[in-house]
């Protein structure tokens, strides 16, 4: 089912892309995370939606 409502699409994209990805193990962490919840590495990158 395609999402046609731009406002809903924006919210969905924020949830999908507003995460930090661990460079070491690839785990998804909350955007506020300082360390990876799986391997405790601080090597996190922010994955954000770009317009
Ligand atoms: Zn990790």
Q: Which two tokens stand for residue 11?
A: 């919210």
The whole domain housing 42 covers 19-51
pLDDT of residue 50: 61
Q: Which residue has the higher pLDDT, 15 or 10?
A: 10
Per the structure, the count of domains in the chain is 1
Does residue 43 fall inside a structural domain?
yes
Does residue 40 fall inside a structural domain?
yes
Does residue 8 fall inside a structural domain?
no
**Ligand 1 centroid, distance to 31 Cα (angstroms):** 14
Residues 6+ apart with CB under 8 A from 28: 19, 20, 21
pLDDT of residue 51: 55
pLDDT of residue 29: 94
Does residue 30 fall inside a structural domain?
yes
Q: Which residue has the higher pLDDT, 23 or 49?
A: 23
**Ligand 1 centroid, distance to 37 Cα (angstroms):** 7
pLDDT of residue 21: 94
**Ligand 1 centroid, distance to 21 Cα (angstroms):** 8
């Amino acid at each position: 089912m395609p999402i046609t409502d731009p406002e809903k699409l924006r919210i969905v994209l924020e949830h999908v892309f507003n995460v930090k990805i661990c460079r070491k193990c690839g785990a998804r962490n909350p955007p506020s995370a300082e360390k990876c919840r799986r391997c405790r590495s601080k090597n996190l990158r922010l994955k954000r939606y770009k317009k």
